[in-house]
Structure 1
Amino acid sequence: MILTGTCYNRYDRQPLFKSAIGMLLLQMFLPLYDNAGKQFPEANFLDLRQELTTRFGGVTIYSRSPVKGLWKQDESSVTEDEMVIYEVLVDKLDTSYWTRLKLRLQHTFRQEEIMMRYYEVTRL
């Protein structure tokens, strides 16, 4: 169920913003380098940007300061990844599409798993 509401300016009753409860913010964490430390081709990122923009009307990409991910491979070593985050705002979750995309990204970026998550958000 999607609930909507509008906030108005108290002087002229013009809408200030419209909110939509039930929007989903989907995030994808993509590594910049493979396990050997070689940078992935820019085309991998540009192709995904084009696909998401075409399908959803836009994408937000956090790429200026890559995020760092750390995890334990075993008891004695910690692995670090530098990643960019792609975000898309959607009305509903098409699990079939996102599952296929995740599998394709795991293959493209040669990863055992690509972290993808979503949150329900209220857009102002």
Structure 2
Amino acid sequence: MTAIAWLLLALPLYFLGEAQILWGTIVGCLLPALCFVIGFYSMCRNLHRPLNKLMTAFFGGMLARMAFIGLAFFLILWLTQLHVASLLTSLFGFYILYLVLELYFVNGRFKHIKEGQQWA
């Protein structure tokens, strides 16, 4: 999914050509990607727990990651000279993309657990 998004972004980024816009887009992609990996790993570790604790871990982790992204966004704006619009747009877009992917994979794992299959 990330590769498809980057293929769609390649042409506009090439023609805009400013380094600040490119770096803003890259940072806006990497921050949600890092949070996705951490969240997905955490969810995989908690799949054996009862459903109410699993949901608490899932939504609590989502809230913590969202707070981390917000704090990192303001620190990046304060400490760097990145293009704000490209950073914010790519951050929001990739966050939504990774959130949909995470929900898709977690929903698939819930179906396997419900059917009694083991987590591979």
TM-score, scaled to structure 2: 0.31
Q: Give the structure with the larger strand fraction.
A: 1
Q: Which has the larger radius of gyration?
A: 1
More helix by percentage: 2
